């Protein structure tokens, strides 16, 4: 009998790994009150860069979007870009032209030749956009969440389309941590209600099935959402979500590499990976439910 119970428990445990995840399960809907159209100015000057606080200078003012680009904003972009033939639908993907990188024959470097590259995969169930054959729209409840499942090409295309650009890693880091060398946008330590990270117990998380999900842009702004208290966690320049939620693509193209870099950590990582100097990288066609972007101008 004991053996049977043990075997049954083991089978139940194994089957739990095969449980299908309902990606369209309902999530709470909150208005954060933070305007995703807003920009913040980062003044020229010195700042502390990297884990060991090297002094660096950016000698110009620039503005960065206060939040990540949202699903609603990206849906609007796709509709406009398709209308203007700046993007097209092909093989269940939105693709667009990229002029290519100079190939340096670096170790493990892959060629990025001029051509059409993926912006978003249309058939991926993790995409929070719907398409009725002519028009894109953000899925209900996800309109104010950060756009994810977007490649580096798709992120760059959005910024370029509106006359903006992706931030360089330096611009991103200065915007995130200011000039005093803090590891997180709000200061030294991190609490669960500072940011969206792995098992941070936010109202969108479902660790039994869907795992950590995105939170709306600007969610951690000190508001209380149905009893869930957030800490106002903006950066010294007033930017939200510069730690956690989704990785953010940056602009730099480095010699001897085809990889593109991301900053900020994501909903799927532990706290220490949200420190401002931590980066991730992937091939520029990579898309993920944990990767988004914002622009600078």
SS3 state of residue 143? coil
Closer residue to other proteins (CB): 124 or 160: 124
Shortest reach from residue 107's CB to other proteins, in Å: 6
Shortest reach from residue 123's CB to other proteins, in Å: 12
Shortest reach from residue 185's CB to other proteins, in Å: 12
Closer residue to other proteins (CB): 156 or 177: 177
Q: Terminal CA-to-CA distance of the chain, rounded, Å? A: 69
CA 227 to chain centre: 26
Shortest reach from residue 92's CB to other proteins, in Å: 15
Closer residue to other proteins (CB): 43 or 50: 50
Closer residue to other proteins (CB): 9 or 89: 9
Shortest reach from residue 291's CB to other proteins, in Å: 8
Contact 292, 150 (CB under 8 A): yes
How many residues in total does the chain contain? 297
Residue of 23, 242, 263, 9 whose CA lies nearest to 128: 23
Binding site for other proteins (CB under 8 A): 13-14, 16-21, 23, 51-53, 106-110, 124-126, 183-184, 188-189, 198-199, 206-211, 254-259, 268-272, 275, 280-283, 286, 288-290
Residue whose entry in the numeric block shows the structure tokens 């909903």: 267
236 beta partners:
none
Residue of 161, 160, 150, 155 whose CA lies nearest to 93: 150
Closer residue to other proteins (CB): 141 or 160: 141
Q: What Rg do the C-alpha atoms of the chain give, in angstroms?
A: 20
């Amino acid at each position: 009998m004991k053996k049977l119970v043990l075997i049954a428990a083991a089978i139940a445990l194994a089957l739990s790994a095969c449980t299908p995840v309902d990606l369209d399960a309902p999530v709470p809907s909150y208005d954060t009150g933070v305007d995703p159209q807003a920009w913040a100015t980062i003044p020229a000057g010195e700042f502390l860069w990297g884990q060991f606080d090297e002094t660096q200078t950016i000698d110009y003012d620039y503005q960065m979007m206060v939040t990540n680009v949202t699903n609603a904003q990206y849906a609007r972009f796709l509709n406009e870009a398709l209308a203007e033939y700046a993007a097209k639908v092909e093989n269940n993907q939105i693709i667009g032209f990229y002029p290519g990188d100079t190939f340096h024959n670096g170790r493990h470097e892959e060629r990025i030749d001029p051509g059409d590259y993926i912006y978003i995969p249309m058939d991926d169930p993790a995409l929070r956009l719907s398409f009725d054959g002519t028009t894109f729209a953000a899925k209900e409840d996800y309109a104010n969440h950060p756009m994810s499942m977007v490649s580096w090409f798709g992120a760059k295309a959005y910024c370029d389309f509106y006359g903006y650009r992706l931030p360089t890693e330096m611009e991103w880091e200065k915007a995130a941590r200011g000039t005093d060398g803090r590891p997180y946008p709000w200061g030294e330590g991190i609490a669960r209600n500072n940011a969206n990270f792995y098992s941070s117990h936010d109202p969108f998380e479902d660790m039994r099935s869907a795992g950590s999900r995105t939170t709306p842009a600007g969610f951690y702004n000190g508001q209380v959402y149905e009893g869930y208290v957030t800490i106002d966690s903006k950066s010294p320049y007033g930017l939200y979500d510069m730690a956690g939620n989704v990785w953010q693509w940056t602009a730099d193209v480095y010699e001897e590499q085809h990889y593109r870099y991301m900053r900020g950590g994501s909903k799927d990582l532990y706290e220490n990976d949200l420190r401002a100097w931590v980066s991730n990288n992937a091939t520029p066609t990579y898309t993920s439910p944990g990767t988004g972007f914002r622009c600078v101008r």
